[in-house]
Structure 1
């Protein structure tokens, strides 16, 4: 009986934790993933205008941009002249790192 009650409390605690994660927005918590910027690929690699999704993802990933600029594999994409144009069109200032 004690084992069932303990298991029930653990289940309730786990469910509460999951609901808090889903329902309570995290302040500035962003998972930095350059793959989140994939909607911007065509705008960065060509001169096509950025989509609304691209701008939304770019704004979401703003806290990560300096890290991307420091990464030698990503620097050429996020620091390119086309990337600056995309940033300007999305009304997102390029961060000073």
Structure 2
């Protein structure tokens, strides 16, 4: 009887682990690289059109934006008025860091 109970517990534990693996999506790792935002460079520096590629890259790099804002070399680009306009056009709120 004890052996059947142990097998049952093992099966339930495996089923729970399987459900967690299936139902919880894996977080994709983002490589923080300001160069990934190069499609946005002209929109940020000269107020030109914002491309779909720029918006896609900006959304992809969203987890990195606070790090860029803390970087003295990048802060002036990431938090400039034009960068805010690009962010608004891409419907991506600027994070509070």
Q: Which interval holds the TM-score relative to the shorter structure?
A: 0.7 to 0.9
Q: Give TM-score scaled by structure 1 length.
A: 0.72
Q: Which runs of 5+ in 1 are unaligned?
A: 1-24
Partner SS for 1:85: helix
Q: Which residue of 2 aligns with 1:86?
A: 86
Determine if the alignment matches structure 1 residue 30 to structure 2 residue 33. Answer: no
The CA RMSD measured in Å over matched residues stands at 1.3
Q: Which residue of 2 aligns with 1:6?
A: none
Q: Give TM-score scaled by structure 2 length.
A: 0.72
Shift in Å at residue 29 of structure 1?
1.0
Number of aligned residues: 73
Q: Distance in 2 between matches of 1:69 and 1:77?
A: 9
Determine if the alignment matches structure 1 residue 46 to structure 2 residue 46. Answer: yes
The structure with the larger Rg is 2
Shift in Å at residue 73 of structure 1?
0.2
The 3 A distance-change label for structure 1 pair 28 and 49 is: same
Q: Which residue of 2 aligns with 1:22?
A: none
Q: Which residue of 1 aligns with 2:63?
A: 63
Q: Distance in 2 between matches of 1:53 and 1:26?
A: 24
What are the Cα deviations for residues 12-69 of structure 1, in whole angstroms up to 9, with x where unaligned?
xxxxxxxxxxxxx951410000000000000000111210000000000000000000
Q: Which stretches of structure 1, 4 residues or longer, exceed 3 Å deviation after superposition?
A: none
Q: Distance in 2 between matches of 1:28 and 1:67?
A: 18
